[in-house]
Structure 1
Amino acid sequence: MIYLDNSATTRPHPEVVETVRRAMENYYGNPSSLHHKGVEAETVLKQAREVAAKFLGCKPGEVIFTSGGTESNNTAIKGVAFQYQNRGKHIITTQVEHPAVYDVCKQLENLGFSTTFLPVDRDGRVSLEDVQKALRPDTILVSVMHVNNELGTIQPVAEIGQWLKQFPRVLFHVDAVQGIGKVPLRLKDSGIDLLSVSAHKFYGPRGVGILYKREGLIISPLLMGGGQEGGVRSGTENLPAIAGMAKAIRLLEDMGPGESTRLSALLEQLRAGIAQIEGCTINTPRSGIAPHIMNISVPGVKAEVLLHALEERGFLISTKSACSSKSNEPSRVLTSIGIERDCALSSLRISLGRENTSEDIQQFVTALGECVRSLRSQMKMKQKSVTRR
């Protein structure tokens, strides 16, 4: 099988798997316990926090370990909303956010908050000008993702964050789940107050992530309990997963920027190949994109049917966001950029990763072309049969 669904989740690196195993076997003490097993676990936790902080370019105390991107987003947005609701109840975000942001804002609307969902252009990109126009005296939070999980579009978060610096009472949250390790983002230079990360997007374990919270910023915790993670995220820390995430971060650092360059070349090869297939439309813009995501549509062919046809040939891809792929509704992201419903319903996402090669791309393009031609031929035969009746 050739795995091309890396934006949904990546295959954990073997060294990460080994790190998790060793941590479960050797560091089973509770980091809050005072005996030597607890101290050992606390030391591993401290080291992992230092690794994450160095990678993000922040202080260890600004790193909060969570169960992943969804919890990090919820903690950031609700934490700000509940903590600063006396200051205002207005939130600004975009129409193309991941459900872990979009649906949270919708939920807060039921609790008396108001949200401005900013439009995006044909490339799926929000403009600084629209953010500026949407800002109100009661705005307390702006939340904009770094990289769109369906299109691969990079949002101008640094530009937005720099502008927001003149409004210290308005906080800035960035969902960086799809960008970490692929698209550089200078945390401190971008005016970011809160940032969400998930380990399973960069070859780490599932069920663990990070919320960067700027030093001195107070947010209301979602979970109350033993006061772990600076009181922001109570609960005994998932030490094996955290250690595995730290290992995945170290591997990212070892690889350096060369991997993003390699993925960009593969993505360009993929684009060129798909462009030659009659009936395929490429939805991902040409520029200003992450190096690993390609979204296409095959109008008239159901996405799920094409997905399974490709799976039978040994290729694993996805339809829109994996978190909402079982919904029969068209992608909200694609309809937001003006793609018609039928075209959006036929969309597929191909996402590249560390294990993919140029040969994989060549084989996939060939299989995609054959599947599209076969399915279209079948459709024409059915239409002729219906017409004869």
Structure 2
Amino acid sequence: MNLSPSGRSRSGATLKARVTRNDVARRAGVAPSTVSYVINNGPRPVSLEARERVLKAIDDLGYHPSDVARSLRTRRTLTIGLVIPDITNPFYGEMVQAVEEVSLQHGYTVILGHSSHLQERELRYAQVLRSKQVDGVIFLPVTPDLEPVEALRRAGIEVVVLERDVPGYACIVADEHNGGCLATRHLLELGHRKIGCIVLAGDSTSSAARAEGYRTALQEAGISPEEGWIVESEYGYEAGERAAHELLKLPERPTAVVAHNDLIAIGAMKAFNEAGLRVPADISVVGFDDIAAASYVQPPLTTVVYPKRQMGRAGIEMLLGLLSSQQGMPTGTMKLPVELVVRASTGPAT
């Protein structure tokens, strides 16, 4: 809004002056410190009559206590930073919702950052959260450089890392390796022997672990992946579609595919369908994450269920524990289990 020197907006409306603690005290006929005792429920007692006058004055004047002033007194801002790699992926939506629910229950609000898988954005959000003096941060780093996380630690901000095992930090991961094994073993049990794998390009953490699980299951069955069975993909539906086209170019295409996540798997299914292949009659597909769309696509997607909400809830509870502990909590990594849900996108090899 543009203001004129007279304190009016350009539209001519007079702006109302900000209501202060002193205004409330004058209206209620009490000392300013009494207003603070009412708002903060202490540390000194206030008579019922004085409390009611203060509360009525607050309501009449529309007073809102200053978060800045409170943070200077308590050395807490009651804010939590949460940095995720992809705000467009519904997988992270469920995780964010769980973090926010628990935060609000404990009086904290969440500042959300979207790094878009870029190191410069991870660094930028680390700087912003430091300047906002958040009490703690839940970080999902996807780039190899951990400088953003380390910068927060140097600033004295507690950090919990999700989806990555970082020595010296409190971390929560899912059993990615077992997830890759479960998906591949399921296809092997259906008689598939030519199984492709779509991995996430540039991901040295979760995708690498899932791919290693895929290799482990094949090795257990006495199968070595042929050249071209493992292809890289970027993020999203279209990227999954492009990766599937690479598999279709092979002289002997796979009869089944394990995809890094559900978005990539759904994009691959579209490519197979447009190529005239029926899922699962001609080619089976397994995803990872179990986003809501996985059960609504046609055919419904067989996928590895990732504990999204459980991880979000465990992450914020771990961070709140760090914030409430005077000595700090031991660092280490919590590993959450995964499971396979079988739907209609997988079937016997033909």
With the length of structure 1 as denominator, give the TM-score of the two structures: 0.31
Q: In terms of Rg, which structure is larger?
A: 2
- Whose RCO is larger (CA < 8 A, sep 6+)? 1
Taking structure 2 as the reference length, the TM-score comes to: 0.34
